[in-house]
Structure 1
């Protein structure tokens, strides 16, 4: 029988010799976004590198970072700039063939001798990042053009071991509250200014709280560039009186009547960083569609964002829920940010319209998410502005003196919040892991390690050892000391699975407080917040759990199984499984055979 399919061409295509692809494209790297717009232009011919090395590194740069974020590409460019300075000073690397293991060793020693702008040696983290940027490109060349390199070129496995061995500075609880108070004061002032600006633009009449001059000036500024604060030269070209603008606070102050600015974004950013315990970079690139309705509590809202990993190629979901009834809860702050950035959305690039923290660059006039460099610069101004306000308060009311803000950076907030949660929970690392949205408790431990948490850990171990020693050395027949009463012989031991916790607000769950929603809402079999989708995947996992309960019943003491696990088994068999249709059981059983086995109960 003849086939209608055309004949397949299975001949191997000849591969061009190494170096031709890089030569054809030259030493210029031009990276584009998903819309075809140029988002990065890097010319390696401007660096002091041999021509063959510049072209090959450009090809590696172009291919390896084709899907990376602009921040990753800028980091790679800085790594190439650093390596080019080494090549110029070393003098022994005259071609790509001279890049061998010995050259890598000399480059590492050269990095160790470099100093920063302050005259101090570069940090180990900075040196590691620069070396890693070069190593990624060399590894790409070793995979795709091995013949162009020397026969032996290796990087040491761990040049800078234990980068996080010394924990970062942590801000205590009182300092975090001081920072939040200053943030809320600035947020209230910025929101009042923006609300007044919206009232000025809505009405031709002068609203209460605005002068005639301010009213006319704000309306005139909004009409120049579609509601966005124009550049100074543009205002001069339109004949604006710059002295009148200066009398009303200047361009930065007047921009706050129209939209979010770099200065007004800082208190929002810091407050959200503390409430969400978020990393600075993912928070700066939080999306506008970040609020979700809570499925069970009408007063709570879920805040969702993602954390990029692997140069932006992998994204990990992060989420926290908050009660909207609190004035400065994260969802309420996000609502204000959405309103203050609405005038900027249409003017932003297509790749930037979905971000929350949109600001206008004072240099390029581009509208984009706030950068970490801008955040660092404006954060210092925020601290100085808040401390000046606190100094005036302390001078006027010394009997109610306030503590000034500490000198802090945005990178310190996540670890500080994690440490305070760790202390408040009595050393519960799993609770902090849930707050930080970590996949492993090992990662969480790196955030909370420090002198204060180590002291808490030693105190906990000492207390438990004291209880154990008192139990062993006590009179024979005494029961072990416990804060909870032991279950009676005929009473169900439902505590391990929370089967008697039918009210998520009564505080009977582990670690819960009366009047507050249980932290384990939806995690117990009889919890009113438990939601089980009726699909084959969930039914397969339920069947696996049922089989494990039955195997444990055959293996364990009958009295112990009845005391600890019988309630869970009956809920699965009598309450949950009957809700699944019979037609779904057969394919779910087949799927369960392909799933990994559950761990043994005991």
Structure 2
């Protein structure tokens, strides 16, 4: 686990990770007077030191806006800030051109920091300072139309083209370094690269060192396109790693921050199927593992992209900063010449360049997650598929990503179909009461208490049209399931199913086959426990408990 610590020296905060300096917040250099700089340095540690690294950096950026305001408005910082400094800062934000949500977030950070100073370093503020100011009315977010399947394919095609170009450049770079050029251009570069690496001790030297080397390298490097061009041929850079990130993000439908923090050990075998494999990552806020499944052997699948990326940046691991050595998206930074994980701050700049270069429709990283949800919803006709793809616990959360109206016509057709089937059952039951002949109701009972409209329809995941459905344990999420919760006989079987699954769950934990139970039966048990049985009326449940089940439950495993 990474250990973070802070060191406050006057108006400067040094942020360390495993003993290595990774950030400096210099309040004096930012324009604050020494007394206020010292107080704010203590305040940012006391107020935000427990938060994530990105949250601390964001707090620092907000406090720099306070400095910009103080200097632009000519606010005196001696002997202390005026009593109305916060309200004046709020007015300055209002005309700064920032979005209302950004202005409010900035105001929140500055208010919390000044409140800390008021409690702990009161000398830097007026005794009459008011910390209550009017907030900003958050405007409704602009709802961007979801990416269409064609647009998503265009984005992925652009990623794949860039990836192929990167792999070709790095392959040429390896040939140049190893002294086996494949063409005249590589032959011309080989001696230059060799001298540069010798001068830089295995790395590309700075321009000042190149021009002061007195071996005539400067002019030749300039004619070749500069050190940035050479850097991109020799090592994986931030620009080169970007299309890998976008493609993996689009295919996994993951959270942008969580995917960027993905580890190198992100590939797992599927627990049940040999033809599938998983990409796994950690959801940062909940610290829960999430995954997406893919067929094996696909050239452009997310698992294969992860392997190709790891092969390209494996040579950088020894140079990588310690806290990022286990990360997937590590690269060589052009400006600081450091090897580490790609940071999110530059992502939108790279995204704008990527969109412009390939003439793509405007999109944001979170749009790729929404597109994945919509695609699974539309392809299956069930929001549950989107829920599983996004690794959500509740379909209520998933509904924020995929609109129910996207499938309204299909949903109406399904409702009409099943309403007709339910009414047919009611009419048939009425006819049976007046007849001496006992008839079975239409439909097919499954072993777990559900009725199936047509077990040969091929609607369940993995089933084939015309062949009997073998997904009996997934009836709870099948669009062909008929679940009449006001029928005591149906509820009796559902209750028996719940008891059987609870008993099997306990056995799986004791006997060591819990992973299989979790994969095959736990989704059905949770839907019964959390969604279906709680919706049964108490009177129906009481009657169902008095009825014997129509058939014995299977003894699972």
Pair in the same fold by TM > 0.5: yes
Q: Which moved more, 1:468-477 or 1:242-251?
A: 468-477
- Residue of 260, 263, 274 corresponding to 1:298: 274
CA deviation after TM superposition for structure 1 residue 288, in Å:
1.9
Q: Does 1:493 align with 2:443?
A: no
State yes or no: 1:339 paired with 2:293.
no
Which of the pair has the greater relative contact order for Cα pairs under 8 Å at 6+ separation?
A: 1
C-alpha distance in structure 2 between counterparts of 1:479 and 1:243, whole Å: 93
**C-alpha deviation, 1:26, in angstroms:** 6.2
- The answer (yes or no) to whether the contact 1:302–1:322 under 8 Å persists in 2 is yes
Match of 1:281 among 211, 234, 257: 257
Cα offsets for 1:191-249 (capped at 9, x unmatched): 233234445555x5445898533455555555555654444444445536456556766
Show the 5 A alignment for 1:352-371.
352-371=324-343
TM-score relative to the length of structure 1: 0.66
Change (3 A) 1:294 1:95: farther
| TM-align CA RMSD | 4.7
Partner of 1:447: 401
Extract unaligned runs of 5+ from structure 2: 1-6, 431-438, 477-484, 512-528, 537-557
The count of corresponding residues between Structure 1 and Structure 2 is 487
Q: Check whether the contact 2:445–2:451 (CA below 8 A) recurs between aligned residues.
A: no
Q: Please point out which of 34, 47, 53 is paired with 1:70.
A: 53
Residue matched to 2:13: 30
Residue 498 to residue 53, structure 1, CA distance change in 2 (3 Å): farther
Instruction: Confirm or deny that 1:325 pairs with 2:301.
Output: no
| 2:91 pairs with one of 100, 106, 109 | 109
How far apart, CA to CA, are the structure 2 residues paired with 1:147 and 1:153?
Answer: 15
Structure-2 residue corresponding to 1:3:
none
Contact 2:256 2:365 in 1 (8 A): yes
Q: CA deviation at 1:328?
A: 0.6
Note the 1:90-169 alignment, pairs <5 A: 91=75, 98=82, 103-114=85-96, 121-138=97-114, 140=116, 159-161=136-138, 164=141, 166-169=142-145
Write out per-residue CA displacement over residues 353-374 of structure 1, whole angstroms, 9 at most, x where no aligned residue. Answer: 2222222222222222223343
The residue aligned with 1:16 is none
**Which stretch of structure 1 is more off in the superposition, 353-362 or 232-241?**
232-241
Judged with a 3 Å threshold, the aligned counterparts in structure 2 of structure 1 residues 333 and 475 are, in CA distance, closer, same or farther, namely: closer
Q: State whether residues 299 and 323 of structure 1, in contact with CA within 8 Å, keep that contact through their aligned partners in structure 2.
A: yes
| Contact 2:175/2:182 (8 A) holds in 1 | yes
Q: Hey, what's the Cα distance between the residues in 2 that align with 1:294 and 1:144? A: 54
Q: Determine the structure 1 residue equivalent to 2:351.
A: 379
Q: Identify which of 366, 369, 383 aligns with 1:429.
A: 383
Q: Report the alpha carbon displacement of residue 571 of structure 1 after superposing the two structures with TM.
A: 6.3
Instruction: Please give the alpha-carbon distance, in whole angstroms, between the structure 1 residues aligned to 2:464 and 2:200.
Output: 54
Q: Secondary structure at the match of 2:346?
A: helix
Q: Matched residue of 1:30: which SS?
A: strand
Q: Helix, strand or coil for the counterpart of 1:62?
A: helix
Match of residue 25 from structure 2: 42
Are residue 415 (structure 1) and residue 370 (structure 2) matched? yes
State the Cα deviation string for residues 435-457 of structure 1 (Å, max 9, x = none).
22234444433333xxxx36425
1:498 and 1:509 in contact (8 A); partners too: no
Distance in 2 between the 1:67 and 1:447 partners?
31
Q: Matched residue of 1:446: which SS? A: coil
- Which blocks of at least 5 consecutive residues in structure 1 are unaligned? 1-23, 115-120, 387-403, 481-485, 527-554, 582-597
Cα deviation, residue 274, structure 1: 0.7
Task: Answer yes or no: is the 8 Å Cα contact 1:305–1:317 preserved in 2.
Answer: yes
Change (3 A) 1:230 1:432: farther
Q: In the alignment, which residue of structure 2 is the partner of 1:182? A: 158
With over 3 angstroms needed to count, the CA separation of the structure-2 counterparts of 1:498 and 1:63, relative to structure 1, is farther
Distance 1:211 1:130 in 2: 51
